[in-house]
Chains A and B, each alone.
Chain A
Amino acid sequence: MMEIQLIINDINYKVDIDVNMRLIDLLRDKLGLTGTKEGCGEGECGACTIIMDGESVNSCLVMAFQANGSNIITIEGLENNGELDPIQRAYMEEGSVQCGFCIPGLIISTKALLDKHPNPTREEIREGMSGNLCRCTGYNKAIDAAQKAIEYLKEGQNDFKNSW
C-alpha cells in the first residue's frame, strides 16, 4: 500500500493504493468515477481515455502510483453545475451517440485535441480520434460534433443549460 495525492476534476484526493493498481481501477473501483470505461485493457480502444497533465492517456496503461501529483480530467469533470461542455452538447445535437460505451473516451479525446489545436481540419479530427474505437457509429457523426464544438468554442458559447 502507498499513499498518493492527485487532483481529479479540480478536487484534491489523498488515497491509499496498491502498487499494482492501474489508474483506471483507482478511478472506477475506488473513487466511483465510472464514466471512464474499460473496453480492451491494452490501450487499443480508447474507452478509458482521460486527460492527465494536459495529455490524453489510456488510463488502463497507467499505474495508479504514476498519477501521483498529477492533474486529471475525466468525463465527470466536463459538466459544470448542470452546464454541459460545448463538446458534450455537440455530441448530443449531432446524434453522435449510439450505445454510448465509447463516448466518454471519444469526448475526452476530442477535448484533448481541441485544447491543443483549436481549429483542426476534418482530417486532423479523424486523426485525433483514431485512438478511440467505436463499433456503432462509424465515427462520422463524432467528427461532425467536433466540428460543431469548434464553432461553439469560437463563439464562446458555454451557456448550454441542462434540460435533460
Chain B
Amino acid sequence: MTLKTVGKSIIRVDAYSKVTGKALYPQDIYLDDMLYAKTLRSKVPHANIKIDTREAERQEGVVRIFTHKDVPLNEHGVVLKDHNVFAADKVRQIGAPIAFVVGESEEACINGMNKIKVEYEELPGVFDPLEAMKEGSPKVHGQSNIIYHYKLRCGDIEEGFKNCVAIAENTYTTHMQDHAFLQPEAGISYMEEDGTLVVAVATQYPHYDREEIARTLKLEEEKVKVINTNVGGAFGAREDITIQIHLALAALTLNRPVKVVFGREESFQAHSKRHPMVMKYKTGADKDGYLQAMEAEIVGDSGAYCSWAMNVLRKAGVHATGPYHIPNVKVDSYAVYTNNPFTGAMRGFGATQIPNAAEQQMDILAEKLGISPFEIRQKNIFKTGSKTATGQVLLESVPLDRCLEELVKRYDEFLKLKNVVDETIEEGVL
C-alpha cells in the first residue's frame, strides 16, 4: 500500500498555538461579570457530617453556597453512581467535595469557605485493601468492600505445576501514582442567550460530561453544551467528573459566568489515582524453559469510590500472564473499597502494575533454570497464532518477537557499558 500522508511526521496541527502561548486552557478564559468559586473538601477520611453554611453565606462578596441540597440527583460515576456531587451526610475520603462557594472574588470565596461549619463525627476507616476484604472491617459503601471479582481459569493449574522444575512464588506491591498533568483542573460555565448551559473544561470525554451534567441537574442533554478547551495532559485523570457539575449548577442557578481554578494541592485531592495493587504470584516452568503454570491473586485498592475499578482489575487479570503462552492459568483479581483517595483510570489501566510482578517472575525463573532473560522470553512469548489464557487467538500483528530481536541486537553494546564499570571497580579506580 502506498500511503501519502499516513506515515509522515507532519507538524502537529496544534503546535503553532501552543508554542506561541495562544492556545487557551480553561484557566485562560475570562468573561465579563464572571464569578469565582472554591470547593470545600473533607478534611477527614471517614465521618458522618453536618454542614452549616449560614454564617458563610453572610460574608461580604459571597453570592451563593451550593451543597447537596441544591443537586436534583446527587450521584454520578463512570460505572457505578457511587460518587456524590456533594457529600450529603457522610464523607468517605479526604478531599471529597462538600460545598461550592461562589463569590465576587476568589478572596471572598476563601473567606466564605472558612466560615462554613462542618461537624465531623469520625468513623473508623479502612486503609489497607486486604484488611478491607475481611468481614469485620469498616464498610465504605453498603455491606461489603469487595466491588468486583474477576476469575480466569485455563487448563488445570495443579497438573501444570506438577510439570514444573522451577517455580517462583512471590508477593509484589505497587503504590498509588498521581497523573500530575501540568494543567490543574479549571473550568468556566455560563448561559447562552437561548438558554443553553455551557461548560468549558479540559476533559477526556466531553459527551460523557454532558450526559452527567444533564442527568444530575435533570436537564435535557440538548440544553447542555460542553466545550473542550485545550487539555493540559490527562492520562486518565480527566475521565471522572470533578468540577463539571458544580460549575454547571452554579451558572444555571445564578445566570452568570462562574469560573473555578484549582491549585496543585487541590488537583491532587480532586482526581483519581493509579490503583495500588498487591500481587501474589506463583509461576512455573518445565526443564526446557517453557512456562507451564501461573497462579495469581491480585487485589486493587479502589479507594473511596469505584470509578473504573472493575475494568481496571479485569484488565489486570487478563494481562496477568504477561505476553506469554501459559497452558494452565488461574487468576483471581479483586477491586476493593477503602477510605483512601479514590483510584481510577491511569495510563495502562491495571496492565501497568502487573509486569512489575510478572516480568520479575520471568527473570527469577530464568535464573533458576540457568538460562538468560532473553531465552526464557523468546521461548514463551506470544507469536502469530498464539492463544491467550482467555482463549483469544492472536491472528495477526503480533510482532513481539521482532521487538525482542531489536534488543538482542543491542545487548552486546549494553553489556560492554555494564562491564566497563566492573573493570574500573576491580582496578580500584572508583
Contact = CB atoms under 8 A, between A and B. Distances in A.
B23 interface: yes
Contact of B23 (A76, A100, A134): A100
A74 to B, nearest CB: 7
Contact of B15 (A38, A91, A104, A136): A91
A35 B134 CA distance: 52
Interface string B153-190: 00000000000000000000000000111111000000
Interface string A110-153: 00000000000000000000000111100000000000000000
B130 to A, nearest CB: 31
Interface string B1-26: 00000000101101111111111110
B299 to A, nearest CB: 28
Contacts, number: 99
A84 B19 contact: yes
B11 A37 contact: no
Interface string A25-54: 000110011111111111001010000000
Q: Main SS of the interface on chain B?
A: loop
A97 interface: yes
Contacts of A92: 11-12, 15-16, 19
Contacts of B27: 34, 37-38
A162 B183 CA distance: 27
A2 interface: no
B48 interface: no
Nearest to A25: B106
| Chain B CB within 10 Å, residue with most, of A45, A93, A164 | A164
A79 interface: yes
B16 A162 contact: yes
A34 B16 contact: no
Interface stretch (B229-237, B390-398, B409-417): B229-237
A34 B27 CA distance: 9
B263 interface: yes
Nearest to B10: A95
B28 interface: yes
B contact residues, range: 20 to 34
Contacts of A75: 20-21
A107 interface: yes
A56 interface: no
Interface string B224-249: 00000011111100000000000000
A99 B11 contact: no
Interface string A73-94: 0111011000010001001110
Interface string B45-62: 000000000000000000
B53 to A, nearest CB: 27
B18 A97 contact: yes
Contact of B180 (A42, A84, A135): A135
Nearest to A163: B16
B239 to A, nearest CB: 16
Contacts of B181: 99, 101, 135
A8 interface: no
A39 B184 contact: yes
A36 B21 contact: yes
A135 B235 contact: yes
Nearest to B233: A99
10 contacts: A37-B27, A47-B182, A97-B12, A97-B14, A99-B233, A100-B232, A101-B25, A101-B181, A101-B232, A162-B16
Given A40-B264, A92-B16, A97-B14, 10 more contacts: A34-B27, A34-B28, A35-B20, A41-B263, A91-B19, A95-B9, A99-B182, A100-B14, A103-B19, A135-B182
Interface of A: 28-29, 32-42, 45, 47, 74-76, 78-79, 84, 88, 91-93, 95, 97-104, 107, 133-136, 162, 164
